[in-house]
Amino acid sequence: MSPPAVIRDLTTRHLRLSLPRPWGPDVAANHLVVVEITLDDGTQGTGVSWTPRVGPEAVHALLEHDCRRIVTGLPGEPELVWDLLWERLHEGGSGGLTTIAMAGIDLALWDARGRRQERSLVDLLGRRHVAVPTYASGINLYYPLDDLLAQVKGWIDAGHRAVKIKVGRPDLAEDVERVAAVRDLLGPDRLLMVDANQRWDLPTARRAIGALAPYGLYWVEEPLLADATWAYAQLRASVDVPIAAGENAHTIHRFRDLLDAGAVDVAQPNVVRVGGVTPFLRIAQLAATYGVTVVPHLLPELSGQLASCLPGPTMVEDVDGASFAALGALAAPSGVTMEDAVLTARTGPGLGLRFVDHKESS
């Protein structure tokens, strides 16, 4: 058997992608750092690191100044590289910017593996779902109520059976008014989730969930600071609405803590924030041992491929204007499509993602 191909080169580029409607006063764009890896047998792979706001330049620098040096000459096997890279980098932080940078490399190596074998990522991992339901979602906390209802009406017209809206306005009565209006528009049979984006403390979360629970919430997402494991466990034990969290948990160790504490009903790893496909799969396997549902966070062109391979029921988040395709990041269609409230993943070899060379906000 011939030895595995080794990593010969790593190159990066930073794309700044304007959002069609800002997510808030300080979030007008998303940032991608595209990673290209070349192996010594000529195989190439493309991966991506992503951040909507914080640290794209730091991620770019970490890839250029540390990661390239560490991975050059290593066998191009994603699991091996991931473990060695984390061992070398985690003194700079076990997660966050560290794992976001690592994701670009891990995704590129999975892409290279698929290209070398002429198989898609879904085929490499093993497809379990021909199609995955999507739920509509928007960064709409600051929308006037009429705009929010117009957005939800558009989702209904597009066939969505599940939607998620933001909560956490300064006056709880406003949240109640908005959730009640959305539930009235949805009717009794569609699923309604709410996302507080870490805006509440424990007493506030208890009061808010108690006030919102009559509107039939499928889950409440990130009601508390993402690191407040003890408080999450206390909250989950005291309310009847399922608790979802994990988009800001960056390592398998954080997910282990949440699961051990009985803190979540739905685990939401973000494939980039946790460091790529390799750790995402480990987290999904861990969650399965606790009987906890995994619903990947954002990035549908990646999350949809992974969701297609999860063993249990799942969904994919479809955020207005935030897919790679909607942001204008792709040089060609990915093969991941979202139509009639379902996602299908039929990509070419590897991840099926080819990114534009350069993009700046207007």
Average pLDDT score over residue span 215-228: 98
Are 330 and 283 part of one and the same domain? Answer: yes
Are 337 and 249 part of one and the same domain? Answer: yes
Give me the phi and psi of 105, to 5 degrees please. Answer: -75, -45
Confidence of residue 23 (pLDDT cuts 50, 70, 90): confident
Are 339 and 231 part of one and the same domain? Answer: yes
Are 219 and 291 part of one and the same domain? Answer: yes
Whether 166 is a known active-site residue: answer yes
- Please provide the average confidence, as pLDDT, over all residues in the chain: 95
Q: Which of 14-28, 29-43, 95-109, 236-250 has the lowest mean pLDDT?
A: 14-28
Confidence of residue 4 (pLDDT cuts 50, 70, 90): confident
Percent of the chain with pLDDT strictly greater than 70: 98
In this prediction, residue 24 carries a pLDDT of 80
In this prediction, residue 1 carries a pLDDT of 63
Domain presence at residue 73 = yes
345 bridge partner residues: 336
Confidence of residue 361 (pLDDT cuts 50, 70, 90): very low
Q: How many domains does the chain have?
A: 2
| Rounded CA separation 219/222 (Å) | 10
Percent of the chain with pLDDT strictly greater than 90: 91
Whether 358 is a known active-site residue: answer no
| Rounded CA separation 191/141 (Å) | 19
Domain presence at residue 360 = no
pLDDT in tens, 162-190: 999 999 999 999 999 999 999 999 999 99
More confident site: 3 or 193:
193
pTM value is 0.96
CB–CB of 306/277 below 8 Å?
yes
Domain presence at residue 318 = yes
Domain that holds residue 18: 7-118
Domain presence at residue 354 = no
Domain presence at residue 64 = yes
pLDDT in tens, 235-253: 999 999 999 999 999 999 9
Q: How far is CA 7 from CA 18, 72, 179, 357, in A?
A: 33, 5, 51, 22
Are 153 and 218 part of one and the same domain? Answer: yes
Confidence of residue 362 (pLDDT cuts 50, 70, 90): very low
Domain presence at residue 356 = no
Q: What is the CATH number of the domain that holds 18?
A: 3.30.390.10
In this prediction, residue 359 carries a pLDDT of 52
Average pLDDT score over residue span 304-308: 98
Q: Please identify which of the residues 166, 253, 358, 359 carries the catalytic annotation.
A: 166
Q: Please identify which of the residues 160, 164, 250, 297 carries the catalytic annotation.
A: 297
pLDDT in tens, 126-156: 999 999 999 999 999 999 999 999 999 999 9
With a cut of 70, say whether residue 353 has pLDDT above it.
yes
